[in-house]
Structure 1
Amino acid sequence: MRTEEEIRQSLRDWIIKTSGKILPEELTDETPIIERRIISSLQVMDLILFLERLSNKAIEVDDLKPGVFQNIDSIYKNFFEGGSIDRP
């Protein structure tokens, strides 16, 4: 099982690689990735697939609520800390 820091680093790496719009030193866990257009709405679908691979769990449509992809903190909170990953 991955640690919280490993998961957060994987998310940072994916966002930096996928977007091509932000440098590693510019991306924090609080950086608004949608609002700042770091990733596009189309890339959100790829992010969902990445999260499913990272968590080894399917993401349910009900989990896709406004704000869950706001930043790395919100992604971690919603999908790894009591979110989809904890579902039986």
Structure 2
Amino acid sequence: MWSTTTTYPPSKRRLPSKKIASTRRRMLYRDYAHGVAMRVLGEIYHRLPTVQVALVSAYVPALDSATGQPTESYPSSVLVTKPQ
């Protein structure tokens, strides 16, 4: 995920970058994940017109901090019914 942001000031020749705050980075990730889910749902309903219900689940592979074992968490799961 993104950890820095850059801006281009027109009056300078160098491209400065600064760290993104942890809260802002989580917000960007959340918005990105929701955007991907909405895009997937839109494509499903567009390409497969006979589908009436779609389920989109997102999971995050990570390491359990207590045991060090790989785990999967599901931060979001959405069941969407196609409007008539």
TM-score (norm 2): 0.30
| Larger Rg, first or second structure (1 or 2) | 2
Task: Flag the structure with higher strand content.
Answer: 2
Task: Flag the structure with higher helix content.
Answer: 1
Where relative contact order (Cα < 8 A, 6+ residues apart) is larger, the structure is 1
